[in-house]
């Protein structure tokens, strides 16, 4: 149980294009999902909290107009990297928190999406 998927698992795009990454909770509902960015040999950096039916909450320093988040249903959140540039190349990971647990519940992580911008 508690499986989170991401699609695509890796993507290569040209500079200036936009890329959409999907995060799905497969066997549970999640009002809250989180998007992280992980650089090689480094920890996860929280980018934003995605809330179903409302606007995402972005961490300080994260451009909300560049990283568009949509949480349209209880099982799907999307992250769109707009006008991607090489410095956006990274490993993007989402996590989902089951709906029933409230603040104390555990996050379940997706496998990540490797984005390479040429």
Partner 1 sequence: AQSVSQHNHHVILSEAASLELGCNYSYGGTVNLFWYVQYPGQHLQLLLKYFSGDPLVKGIKGFEAEFIKSKFSFNLRKPSVQWSDTAEYFCAVGGNTNAGKSTFGDGTTLTVKP
Residues that bind partner 1 (CB under 8 A): 4, 32, 34, 42-46, 49, 93, 95, 97, 103-112
Nearer to partner 1 by Cβ, of 58 and 76: the residue is 58
Q: Is the peptide bond before 8 cis (omega within 30 degrees of 0)?
A: yes
Nearer to partner 1 by Cβ, of 14 and 41: the residue is 41
Minimum separation from the CB atom of position 106 to partner 1 (A): 6
Q: How far is CA 9 from CA 36, 53, 60, 105, in A?
A: 15, 26, 27, 26
Write the DSSP symbol of residue 61: T
Beta strands 113-117 and 108-109 are: unpaired
Please provide residue 72's backbone torsions phi and psi, each rounded to the nearest 5 degrees: -80, -20
Minimum separation from the CB atom of position 15 to partner 1 (A): 28
Nearer to partner 1 by Cβ, of 88 and 98: the residue is 98
Minimum separation from the CB atom of position 39 to partner 1 (A): 11
């Amino acid at each position: 149980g508690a499986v989170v998927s991401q699609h695509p698992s890796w993507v290569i795009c040209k500079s200036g294009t936009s890329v959409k990454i999907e995060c799905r909770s497969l066997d549970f509902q999640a009002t809250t999902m989180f998007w992280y960015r992980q650089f090689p040999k480094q920890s996860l950096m929280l980018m934003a909290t995605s809330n179903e039916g409302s606007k995402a909450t972005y961490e300080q320093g994260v451009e909300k107009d560049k990283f568009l988040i949509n949480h349209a249903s209880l099982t799907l959140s999307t992250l769109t990297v707009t006008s991607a540039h090489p410095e956006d190349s990274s490993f993007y990971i989402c996590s989902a928190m089951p709906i029933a647990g409230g603040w104390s519940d555990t996050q379940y992580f997706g496998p990540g999406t490797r984005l390479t911008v040429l």
